[in-house]
Structure 1
């Protein structure tokens, strides 16, 4: 997606969320080091065979939209990348990595009738 300077919109980072393990604490939940999924816009993309605990995903979901947006360099969203598994006994962690950025036009992402355009997913290759 291209940035059209006369069109309202927002840049969002694509994210990769990768499972990492604390070397000093064993995982007690199903966490496999190196497994990952991607966040592209509002879409979670899982490779075939990838599995993520719904409890871990529930802990991650509120952070992903904030991690997609541009933040100040000193903001903890810019500097901190790992989220612990919500089970306090588990050594599983999730590393959120910002990758490429995409432009989302406001008209392609809103449901407001007066501002609505072609949905962004209909323009994807």
Structure 2
């Protein structure tokens, strides 16, 4: 049985707005999501509060979505600090194939 599935690689990048950034964000800073891993460039930091706000969205953004799903169209997320003008753009940058058996020891559920 084929146990492969596809996930998108993501780039999460700090973008500016008309409001000043008051957190530690710098326009152009970014991290990558590759499989289950967050990959940070060595020369940048990333706010843990912003990361906490972004994390719940990332697994959904990695998966194939229906064309009408808002998760596909909405790719700019505001900083969770209401006083900060930073925004974060989530972009799909690639696609990888994974195998169920390489990611878990659980058996594939029976499909109905």
Structure 2 length-normalised TM = 0.91
Moved over 6 A (4+): none
2:56 match: secondary structure = coil
Unaligned 5+ runs, structure 2: none
Shift of 1:53: 0.2
Q: Does 1:7 align with 2:29?
A: no
- Provide the aligned C-alpha RMSD in A: 1.2
Q: How does 1:13-52 map to 2 (within 5 A)?
A: 13-22=8-17, 24-52=18-46
Q: Residue in 2 aligned with 1:108?
A: 102
- How many matched pairs? 108
Q: Give the secondary-structure state (helix, strand or coil) at the position aligned to 1:38.
A: strand
Where does the alignment leave 5 or more consecutive residues of structure 1 unmatched? 1-5, 116-125
Which of 69, 74, 82 is the matching residue for 2:68? Answer: 74
CA distance in 1, matches of 2:85, 2:92: 23
Q: What is the TM-score of this pair, normalised by structure 1?
A: 0.82
Identify which of structures 1 and 2 has the higher relative contact order when contacts are C-alpha pairs closer than 8 Å and 6+ apart.
2
